[in-house]
Amino acid sequence: MKKRMDCLRRYLGLLGLFARYSLMEQMEYRVNFAAGIAVECGYMLIKLMYAFLILQAGVSLNGLTSWEMLMCVGTYILITGLFMSMYPNFCLLSFSVRDGSLDMLLTKPVNTQFLVTLRKLDFGMPIPNVLCGVALIVYGWQGAGLAVTVTGIVGFVLLCMTGLFLTYCLFLIPELLSFWFVSNSGVHQLSEAVRDFDNVPMNVYPKWLQRLGIFVLPVFVITNFPTLYVARKLSVPMTIWAFAAAALVFALQRLVWKKALRRYTSANG
């Protein structure tokens, strides 16, 4: 147990160092840092367009009020924002595989996946998303007239964290395909498109698509479950499924990761 804690402390320390170095690096390129935030704001505009359409409609759709749907969109924006902080590593991965710059990372006595996927942390891009996401969630929560309880908040946060973890695992897998193929931009685009299904709450979709997005490719778990939980519309088995799905996808992702490293050919850049 003590060993576990030591290990955790060490990795958190490393993460802190990565954060510090990344921030220092980004401060070297301040114009780009600002541009990153600006463009991310533009991105958010798209998501707000969906929120606007839903709120403007102002009706209940398949069991969710428009306020609750607004919370779902807010959750999507929030989790996407948090995910954006590690996103640079995901983008870099296929480059590093192709030009062999992964080499040095593979020789370090720390968990390679930790090093490869969390080494660069972005601080600009999450800012607008997190602020706006939280604002939408709070606004929707109030509008929907849902009770503010400790269990509600704890459950919501816990499910959001599970969602973030799911996002990390789920969308790392397509990036790992770059170990097999020269170019994985097609898969990358496809996975982005899949993630965009969360732009609107899942109750907009027909039942078969909802089941697909919950049980097969659990993207709907990420952004709908926290709100459903707070609105008391999430059954106990479904709540358990949220965590089970995260564990399953994590196991799958680790499997692919290990297979991928075996395929690494270390090009000479």
Partner 1 sequence: MKLSGYGCIFGMGLQNSMVYRADFFLSLFSCLFPVIMQVYLWTALYRVGAADTSGYTYEQMILYTLLAGITSRIVSTGFELEVAQDIKEGGLNKYLVKPVNYAGYYFARFLGGKAAPVGFLLAVTAAVLAGASAVLQIRVEPLRWVLYGVSVILALALNFSLFFAIALLGFWLTEIRQLFGTISIVVMVISGGVFPLDIFGPAAAVLSAVLPFGYTTQFCVNIVSGRLGMQEIGTGFLVQLAWIALFTALHTVMWKRGTRRYTAVGG
Partner 2 sequence: MAVIEAEQLCKQFRYSTKAKGLQGTLHNLFERQKLTKTAVDRISFSVEEGEAVGLLGPNGAGKTTTLKMLSGILYPTSGTVRVNGFIPWERRPEYQRQFAIVMGQKSQLWPDLPAVDTFELNRRIYRIDPEEYRRTLAELTDLLDVGPLLQVQVRRLSLGERMKMELIAALLHRPAILYLDEPTIGLDILSQRAIRDFLRYYNQQTKTTILLTSHYTADIEAICPRSIIINHGRVVFDGPLAQVSEVFGHKKLISLRSRQDLDPQVLASLGLVREFTSNTALMEVERDQLESCLQQLLGRLPVMDLDVKDIPIEEGIAYFYQRSGEAAQ
Single out the residue of 110, 138, 240, 251 in contact with partner 2 (rule: CB under 8 A): 110
Q: How far is the CB of 172 from partner 2 (least distance, A)?
A: 19
Residues 115-174 that bind partner 2 (CB under 8 A): none
Q: Is 14 an interacting residue with respect to partner 2 (CB under 8 A)?
A: yes
Residue 235: contacted member of partner 1, partner 2, none (CB under 5 to 8 Å, by partner type): none
Single out the residue of 4, 28, 58, 206 in contact with partner 2 (rule: CB under 8 A): 28
Residue with smaller CB distance to partner 1, 180 or 215: 180
Residue with smaller CB distance to partner 2, 9 or 232: 9
Q: Is 101 an interacting residue with respect to partner 2 (CB under 8 A)?
A: yes
User: What string marks each residue from 185 to 214 as x (binds partner 1 by CB under 8 A) or -?
Assistant: xxx-xx-xxx-xx-xx---xxx--x-----
Q: Is 109 an interacting residue with respect to partner 2 (CB under 8 A)?
A: yes
Q: Is 88 an interacting residue with respect to partner 2 (CB under 8 A)?
A: no
Residues 22-61 that bind partner 1 (CB under 8 A): 29, 31-32, 35-36, 39-40, 42-43, 45-46, 49-50, 52-53, 56-59, 61
Tokens matching residue 72: 């779902």
Write out the DSSP string of 79-142: HHHHHHTTHHHHHHHHHHHHHTTTHHHHTSSS-HHHHHHHSS--STTHHHHHHHHHHHHHHHHH
Q: Is 31 an interacting residue with respect to partner 2 (CB under 8 A)?
A: no
Pair 70, 55: CB distance under 8 Å: yes
Q: How far is the CB of 265 from partner 2 (least distance, A)?
A: 6
> In angstroms, rounded to a whole number, what is the distance separating the alpha carbons of residues 34 and 43?
14
User: What string marks each residue from 74 to 93 as x (binds partner 1 by CB under 8 A) or -?
Assistant: --------------x--x--
Window contacting partner 2 (CB under 8 A); options: 48-56, 67-75, 107-115, 199-207: 107-115
Where on the chain is the footprint of partner 2 (CB under 8 A)?
10, 13-14, 17, 21, 24-25, 28, 100-101, 103-104, 106-110, 112, 262, 264-266, 268-269
